[in-house]
Amino acid sequence: MPHSFTREDLDRVARLARLELDATEQDLFARQVAGILEYAAQIQAVDTTGVDPMSHPPGGQAAMRADAARPSLPRDASLAAAPEADLAAGLFKVPRVLG
């Protein structure tokens, strides 16, 4: 049985998920996620020895497609919804990455 969800778990997971949380959310989520996991702990009691995990409903397995070039969205259409873009150069713009 996993240990209960702590404030340290929340900080770690928020970093992994690239989520900045305000103080209210930190208090709320630490409590609520712990409560949800406590409720979900009932599945630990189910004997799943030798049972295969199911990732998709049967028959819905992702199909392979041919590895062939095909038309995609025009560049301008792809850039049109970007918060910041250089349409002439065909680039999405982001804040600086390196120092």
Which residues of this protein are in contact with other proteins, per CB under 8 A? 1-2, 5, 9-10, 12-14, 16-22, 25, 28-29, 32-33, 35-37, 39-44, 46, 48, 51-65, 73, 77-78, 80-84, 92, 94-97
Closest approach, Cβ 95 to other proteins, in A, equals 5
DSSP 34: H
The partner residues of 91 in beta bridges, in order of sequence, read: 86
Closest approach, Cβ 10 to other proteins, in A, equals 7
Toward other proteins, which CB reaches closer, 39 or 88?
39
Kindly state the helix (H) or strand (E) to which residue 13 belongs, with its residue range.
helix 7-16
Contact by Cβ (8 Å): 85, 77: no
Which amino acid type is present at position 87? L
The partner residues of 83 in beta bridges, in order of sequence, read: none
Toward other proteins, which CB reaches closer, 66 or 88?
66
Closest approach, Cβ 61 to other proteins, in A, equals 8
Closest CA to 10 of 37, 33, 39: 33
